[in-house]
Amino acid sequence: MADNAHKRPAKAAGTYRIGGDLEVDRLGYGAMQLTGPGVWGDPKDPAEAVRVLRRAVELGVTFIDTADSYGPFVSELLIREALHPYADDLVIATKAGFTRAGPGDWRPLARPEYLRQQCELSLRHLGLDCIPLYQLHRIDPTVPLADQLGELALLKQEGKIRHIGLSEVTVEQIEAAREITTIVSVQNLYNLADRHFEDVLEYCERNDLAFIPWFPIATGNLARPGGPLDAIAAEHSATPAQLALAWLLRRSPVMLPIPGTSSVAHLEENVAGAEVKLTDAEFEALAKAT
């Protein structure tokens, strides 16, 4: 059993039940980088993208996060090509709420008819009958929140999605959303170097909502030579990125980091971060570092 755990390092992260019933290993994989430059078009090496996805599952990853806007649809189609039919324990999360007009161009759009269309397309592109976790990629300021989330609630009632999540939101927005429908997850920017959504993380902890930090391995100035990350990384024979992931996993039991990459070697390095165990002193030193 120990040998098997070593071969599947993501298992060292422990588990969390999204919505109380979707059990995932807490270190997941974010599929945004499996596209062309500017998150637009096909990847330079589609075969490597397929290898990355298959290797992630081999390493014990059971939570893959994507979005209709990655490509658009390129990421979802690659996931289907690489992993369909899906393993019973694999949870795929996707999102809608952005429209794309070119590389690096992102415009919030969450009219009910658009969200419904994108959900139907994601079901088809992923080869699913029901999307386990469907996230509103951004709240559209031009559409009443009740209309946006009301449509997702209808899709849930129809059995097309199982759970609803939010992305890049404030505590006030989460509370407003929960008045309309059940919310099980929040995906916000959060990492060791940027913790301005600390209040959102704490709210998720108190209410047992999954907190999915995007851009999780940013280390900024903390990884400078001789800096706090550098010294502790040397102690563990680990990279600063692995330490950043280990810190996130230690920070909260509701934390589900989703580091992304388009390279198998980088994927293996990231997932090994689940096996790095920080001492209390190391965790505190990094928490206080600037």
Is residue 210 situated within a structural domain?
yes
What pLDDT shows up at residue 203?
98
What pLDDT, on a 0 to 100 scale, did the predictor assign at position 225?
86
In tens, the pLDDT along 133-148 reads: 999 999 999 999 999 9
pLDDT tens figures, 209-264 = 999 999 999 888 888 888 888 889 999 999 999 999 999 999 999 999 999 999 99
What is the residue-wise DSSP string for 53-80? HHHHHHTT--EEE--TTTBTTHHHHHHH
Say if residue 157 is exposed, middle or buried (CB neighbours under 10 Å; 0-12, 13-18, 19+). exposed
Residue type, 85: P
Q: Give pLDDT, residue 4.
A: 47
* Strand blocks (E) in 97-184: 98-99, 107-108, 131-136, 161-167
Identify whether 146 is part of a domain: yes
239 in a domain, yes or no? Answer: no
Residue 233 maps to a domain: no
pLDDT band at 10 (very low <50, low <70, confident <90, very high): very high
Contact 139, 169 (CB under 8 A): yes
DSSP, res 20: T
Q: Is 21 exposed, middle or buried (0-12, 13-18, 19+ CB in 10 A)?
A: exposed
Q: CA angle, 83 as apex, 163 and 263 as ends, to 5°?
A: 105
Q: Which contiguous run of DSSP H or E holds residue 193?
A: none
133 found inside a domain: yes
Lowest average pLDDT, out of 28-37, 158-167, 214-223, goes to 214-223
Among 112-116, 218-222, 284-288, which is the least confidently predicted range? 218-222
Average pLDDT, the chain: 95
Q: How many domains does the chain have?
A: 1
Domain span including residue 69:
2-220+254-276
Collapsed DSSP state (helix, strand, coil) of residue 219: coil
DSSP, collapsed to helix, strand or coil, labels residue 155 as: helix
DSSP 3-state of 214:
strand
22 domain residue, yes or no: yes
CA distances from 12 to 40, 78, 85 (A): 34, 27, 26
Q: What's the CA dihedral at 8, 9, 10, 12 to 10 degrees? A: 120
Q: What is the pLDDT of residue 6?
A: 55
Q: Which two tokens stand for residue 100?
A: 């794309």
Looking at this protein, which amino acid is placed at residue 15? T
Q: List the CATH number of the domain containing 156.
A: 3.20.20.100
Q: Is 225 domain-assigned?
A: no
Which residues form the catalytic set?
Answer: 70
Give residue 3's pLDDT: 44
Is residue 248 in a domain?
no
